[in-house]
Chains A and B, each alone.
Chain A
């Protein structure tokens, strides 16, 4: 969009002014409870998406959103491209065959991960982590807010959609565990756009403490007062109250504080580590939660990106060790089936800027992790980094629509047959994300 006021904002040491605002941004509204259902279109897939229901249990979808446009080429570096080194003289990570102690670890003959991402290496070696590269949204916006919005509502440039892809997914599949009060949860304050519209979905910033606030000595008396009063009222409040009280009871019964990860996994004490640990406890409790959304901020690295030693290195190692712990605990550790998907609104500029950072780009990368992921590889139609191959001559192109990946997740691992409800006006291309 020309004359975009976001384009006119300067992006400095603490990121773009627009994005600083986003980091204080309040996410969109909380659960709607009983939500008007989007009419399902009669869409017949050209390719049958296999449904996988083992005894009716589906994968819990854990959607991790990296807010701020994470630099995909640092997270999964194309070391085979000379342009990666010539265009990023200070921030490119050394080739796997160099003697630099902070060199990349090769994933294959083209891509490698920096030391900060090694927390995910085991998952990759186990064949359960898939990188998807040169992917993202076809929407050309380089505005954080806009791009996040269109990615999360699931359709570029559609300003009329107020629900999220994951919320619509929950609304268009049968309830996994009948009678479950909590089907979707955002571990944050405020509901992220991607989950808006999900039935029985709430933002809960702390699963351990979720409940009725106030003095513990009167909690039981107050709870029973509330329960009694709402038991005598009518719907919709009666039903919401019952489901809320049930959710409180269900979450109270889960020992979040004392959760013992399996398989020797240790979660870092960072916010993300704590959130994923509580997600693990919630998933293992199998109370019927089908989708969990987590946000990670801080990725808008316009200055001193420092993927090896500085700010981005910290971001990546927090991400990798936290998800790595979850992988070891739940996925490798014999827990219920989960698919984790990690995405960001767009990637960053190939050419580093004058501040040892990068500006907003286009093509990005995703990660998919789960027991059934066909991982241990980098899935891409790599377009190349020569100027003629760059989007608008400057950015990594998008060769795989992010919705292709998400479609396979909801269809194959969560049994959704209403795909055009989840991603309206979109015809997905099968990409082969899963082995089972």
Chain B
């Protein structure tokens, strides 16, 4: 099988790119897709298996394309994941990740079994210390992103968590239930099920004040964000009148509160007494009088089936995986799939993640959570506690569930580019000394460098593990120099890993 090395971009449809995102691709002489991979290992894998290498226009190197897919749909490619992907081939691996419930995740499940608040009901959570509950949910989120084999699933949980943002300090215990009952069951399901669950989520209703919205005193907050942020998008074609009318439709959508409600406490309640029963019009659709809860159901269906929602969701999914400025034609294909499949998230992902789309994907900055998790995955770090990591995530401005406003953590390079010290110090401290100085996290450099004894071998190992052999050559050379004289000392070889985590090319994927 021929290996192709590209000098520059593929012949695939050129993706638009923000000027500021040239960081990685623009500088690398080898670009993201072309490379001469090391090896025997690669050749051996490719000889095995029935995996047909995927080819795209322009003869993009199939193995590089596969690695790029892995990079985009996981929180960081690992040797195990790449081996699996090569065995299964592009389509096989994609289907494997989409079929997430069939992936055996017992190792991860064992890890988080001790976090007992995750499965508690509201009455059980309420007497807990909030900080404890919050820490368990955050720790679970970190552990899942790091160790779950269901990586595409976890990347979608990330997307939907931001899309349906809820600030945990506001809603406290409700968010544990929202993560468990709204986001996770539906992250790879249908958008309709996801939206319907969210609209009945005590966390969401409380966060956006719908729980206190009544016919006498309607509150428009949820109604507005439901359209602006969750479905149609700000230019999706709704009016201020629609916002008011939707708010009236959703009056009575509230929460059972108070210990006297027993096992119902903290669950969704439709309270018809507070519902506005007048006739209404939403998005040019007449809603009759005395509609009760059906009013809200009608609204949700209107939004789910609206073409602006198809486009808005398609845009979010494309941006998440393919870059900051995805070609209109790709978004349109995904939006069409939304409509034709009934909002089937997997069907949409099959379109988003087509080989030619991945080939055209442009660099994205790793947000701090992603970068911190990728570092753990790719150094095969052991994690015994995430407490110190959570502190650092907070300093980096990306502690899970801590974004104040409903728009969620931004997915823009400009937002995240302003705090490098948090990344540099995470890298430096992770490997500092012989045991690292981030308590609860440990990198075993002996295992990392097995078989590599010289500076050249070690930089090759770093390139392979952290960059899939696509490390920027300037970063690579500089860190190779840091490893000199050869053979490197323990200090230097450990710190070289930290420098690699700190370097410009590691901040992108």
Contact = CB atoms under 8 A, between A and B. Distances in A.
Contact of B404 (A193, A240, A248): A193
Interface string A1-36: 111010010000000011011101111111111111
B172 A5 contact: yes
B22 interface: yes
B419 A202 contact: yes
Interface residues of B, number: 69
Contact of B212 (A2, A21, A215): A2
Contacts, number: 176
A212 B425 contact: yes
B475 A236 contact: no
A311 interface: no
Given A26-B402, A30-B397, A232 B474 contact: yes
Interface of A: 1-3, 5, 8, 17-18, 20-22, 24-36, 145, 149, 159-162, 189-191, 193, 202-203, 210, 212-215, 217-218, 221-222, 225-226, 228-230, 232-238, 240-241, 244, 248
Contact of B420 (A25, A161, A237): A237
B206 A5 contact: yes
A241 B420 contact: yes
B417 A229 contact: no
Contacts of B432: 213-215
B482 A221 contact: yes
22 contacts: A5-B206, A8-B257, A30-B397, A30-B422, A32-B414, A33-B414, A149-B404, A193-B404, A212-B421, A213-B425, A214-B425, A225-B478, A225-B481, A226-B499, A229-B504, A233-B23, A234-B20, A234-B27, A236-B414, A238-B504, A240-B417, A244-B421
A27 B409 CA distance: 14
Contacts of A18: 130
A162 B407 contact: yes
Given A214-B498, A215-B495, A244-B420, 6 more contacts: A29-B398, A29-B403, A34-B417, A159-B208, A214-B425, A225-B478
B399 interface: yes
Nearest to A232: B474
Given A21-B172, A145-B170, A162-B407, A27 B394 contact: yes
A36 B413 CA distance: 12
Nearest to B219: A1
Q: Which 7 A-B pairs have the closest CB atoms?
A: A33-B418, A29-B397, A236-B417, A30-B397, A214-B428, A233-B504, A21-B130
B31 to A, nearest CB: 15
Contacts of A34: 414, 417-418
A162 B428 contact: no
Nearest to A241: B420
Given A189-B391, A225-B479, A237-B417, A230 B504 contact: yes
A228 B475 CA distance: 9
A237 B27 contact: no
Contacts of B212: 1-3
B424 interface: yes
B137 interface: no
Contacts of B257: 3, 5, 8
A291 to B, nearest CB: 16
Contacts of B474: 229, 232
Given A159-B406, A162-B407, A234-B23, A213 B428 contact: yes
A45 to B, nearest CB: 29
B424 to A, nearest CB: 6
Contacts of A20: 129-131
A26 B169 CA distance: 9
A30 B419 contact: yes
Contact of A229 (B134, B404, B414, B503): B503
Interface string B405-440: 111010001110111111011001101110001000
B95 interface: no
A21 B402 CA distance: 13
Contacts of A145: 169-170
A241 to B, nearest CB: 6
Contact of B499 (A27, A203, A222, A241): A222
Contacts of A8: 257-258
**Most chain A CB neighbours (cut-off 10 Å) among B27, B404, B433, B503:** B404
B211 interface: yes
